[in-house]
Each structure stands twice: as structure tokens, then as C-alpha cells.
């Protein structure tokens, strides 16, 4: 993380118990600091690493690619949508961290372990989640430092929304994002006007839909679909929309709501000033 604050173990970090409700409205009461943590969310796995909780994390999903070394040293409990319940049970976790959108409700409810489900749809939501994970894990002071740094960096953004953008997250079929998504919130803060804002959360669209929306730019995310891996993945876009620039963007900086957000504001500034200059709506 470039420009990351020092969020390692803080002398003022301590666990004072936790009493609260998760995003599903389910109560969670922890009397002791969790020592065996399973993360079912890539962004939260990245957060646990940034909070220096490596020795206490025992399980992650196969999509948790940050930090890379954990894929070799932690138990893999399946994917975000198909959790291996037996594997989780064998790990005997005293805390499982999940997300309302990324994980299946049935999976979460069948785990038989203390589970805290998060719901993150905006940058302020992400900061709240980071602080909550800090409280849950006894790293409250470090988490507060990170959350405040993220909030401060976003608050300093002064990009006026002017570039009309279509943001693609999938191919065959093409899928974009609507207003009620975390990506939309990040786009808006980066001066991008989402041309599919009034659609469903993740609308399926066609090349004709893209042409009709007439964006100034089409942003192809590096994840969940890897548009960046082959030129062929954007060839039909370039052929069908010859007058509209097609840009590959870092999907993690638009959609990961953990420590990656520390780098998102500067990325949005660079995107606005260098790659999208001159493409604002008339």
C-alpha cells in the first residue's frame, strides 16, 4: 500500500468485549478476543493482514489473493459463494467474518460458529466496517487510524463529476453496476457519472445498450472478469464502439473496501487528470 499509515499492533489496542448486531440483524456477543478467525471476504482478509492479525487467521477463501503468501499458509475454505462447511468446522473458528453481498445467507447460517456479516455500499460504510472489525479483533486503535486516513483522503478529493462512464464487471454477458453499489459510490467520488445508475444493482447489458447510453468512456474492470488479461476480451467493444475510448481499470481500487481504499483517491485523481482528460461530457 503506497502512503499507508502505520496500522500495525498499537499499544492502545486491547479487546474489551463485543456486543452488537450484524447486517442480518443477528446479535453477536464475544467475551474473549477471537484467536481463530476465518474470513469469507477478500477485502476483509486484506484488512486482517493490514491489522497484523496473521497468526490468528486460520482460514480464507480461494479468492482471497491478498496477501499472496496466505494462500499457501492458511486453510482454503472454498469460494465466497460455496463455502466448505466441513472445512470451517474442522478449523473450529471463534469468529467468522462474512459479507451480505459476497456470501450466501444459507452458507453463513449453517456454519455453526460465531459469524459477523458486514454490509458495505459506500466509502463511509467501509470506514465503519473497518472500525467494527477492529473492535471485534482487539485492534480498535489501529483500525480507527486506517479508517480515518481513508476518510481524510476521500474528503480531500475535489473532482467534479463530469465524465460519463460505463463500468463493466463482466463479459458474456456484459454486466455493469447500478446506483446501489459500492463501485457506484467510488465512481461518483472520482468524478465519473455512471450511465447505468438507474438500472438494477448489476444490470446485464448489450453492445446496443452501451451505444445507446453514449458514455464518454467504457471502463473495463480487472475483476471479477479479467478484462486486462487479453486484448481479445475488449476487441468486440472496440469494434462496436469505435468512437468511445475503452479503458482497463484496477477493479480492486474500485471495489475492495479494506486497506486498498488507502490508494483509491490518488488513483482516481490520476485517472481523471491523465487517462480521462478531455473526455468530459459536452
CATH class given for the domain over 163-275: alpha beta
16 pLDDT exceeds 90? no
Per-chain mean pLDDT for the chain: 92
pLDDT in tens, 245-261: 999 999 999 999 999 99
Output 95 or 3, whichever has higher pLDDT.
95
Each domain of the chain, given as residue ranges in start order, spans 18-120, 163-275
- Asked if 37 contacts 56 with a C-beta cutoff of 8 angstroms, the reply is yes
pLDDT in tens, 134-181: 999 999 999 999 999 999 999 999 888 789 999 999 999 999 999 999
How far apart CA 137 and CA 122 sit, in angstroms, is 23
Q: Which residues pair with 70 in a beta bridge?
A: none
Q: What is the pLDDT of residue 15?
A: 85
Q: What is the pLDDT of residue 273?
A: 80
Per-residue pLDDT band for 3 (boundaries 50, 70, 90) equals low
C-alpha cell recorded at residue 240: 462496436
Q: What own/partner pairs with CB < 8 Å and gap ≥ 24 does 132-136 have?
A: 132/20, 133/44, 133/47, 133/48, 133/51, 133/97, 134/13, 134/51, 135/18, 136/18, 136/30, 136/34, 136/95, 136/97
Looking at the structure, give the CATH architecture of the domain made up of residues 18-120. 3-Layer(aba) Sandwich (3.40)
Per-residue pLDDT band for 6 (boundaries 50, 70, 90) equals very low
How far apart CA 38 and CA 215 sit, in angstroms, is 41
9 pLDDT exceeds 50? no
pLDDT in tens, 211-224: 999 999 999 999 99
Amino acid at each position: 500500500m503506497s502512503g499507508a499509515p502505520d496500522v500495525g499492533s498499537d499499544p492502545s489496542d486491547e479487546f474489551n468485549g463485543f456486543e452488537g448486531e450484524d447486517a442480518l440483524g443477528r446479535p453477536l456477543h464475544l467475551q474473549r478476543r477471537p484467536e481463530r478467525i476465518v474470513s469469507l471476504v477478500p477485502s476483509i482478509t486484506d484488512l486482517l493482514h493490514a491489522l497484523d492479525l496473521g497468526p490468528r487467521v486460520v482460514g480464507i477463501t480461494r479468492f482471497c489473493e491478498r496477501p499472496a503468501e496466505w494462500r499457501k499458509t492458511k486453510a482454503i475454505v472454498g469460494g465466497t459463494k460455496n463455502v466448505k462447511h466441513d472445512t470451517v468446522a474442522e478449523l473450529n473458528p471463534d469468529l467468522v467474518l462474512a459479507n451480505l453481498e459476497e456470501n450466501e445467507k444459507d452458507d453463513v447460517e449453517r456454519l455453526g460458529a460465531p459469524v459477523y456479516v458486514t454490509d458495505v455500499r459506500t466509502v463511509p460504510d467501509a470506514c465503519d466496517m473497518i472500525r467494527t472489525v477492529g473492535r471485534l479483533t482487539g485492534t480498535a486503535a489501529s483500525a480507527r487510524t486506517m479508517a480515518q486516513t481513508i476518510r481524510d483522503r476521500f474528503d480531500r478529493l475535489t473532482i467534479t463529476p463530469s465524465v460519463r462512464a460505463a463500468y463493466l464487471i463482466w463479459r458474456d454477458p456484459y454486466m455493469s453496476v447500478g446506483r446501489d453499489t459500492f463501485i457506484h459510490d467510488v465512481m461518483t467520488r472520482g468524478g465519473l457519472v455512471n450511465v447505468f445508475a438507474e438500472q438494477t444493482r448489476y444490470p446485464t447489458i448489450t453492445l446496443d445498450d452501451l451505444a445507446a447510453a453514449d458514455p464518454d468512456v467504457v471502463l473495463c474492470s480487472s475483476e471479477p472478469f479479467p478484462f486486462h488479461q487479453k486484448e481479445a476480451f475488449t476487441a468486440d467493444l472496440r469494434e462496436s464502439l469505435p468512437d468511445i475510448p475503452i479503458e482497463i481499470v484496477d477493479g480492486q481500487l474500485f471495489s475492495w473496501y479494506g486497506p486498498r481504499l488507502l490508494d483509491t483517491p490518488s488513483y482516481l485523481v490520476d485517472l481523471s487528470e491523465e487517462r480521462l482528460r478531455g473526455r468530459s461530457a459536452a
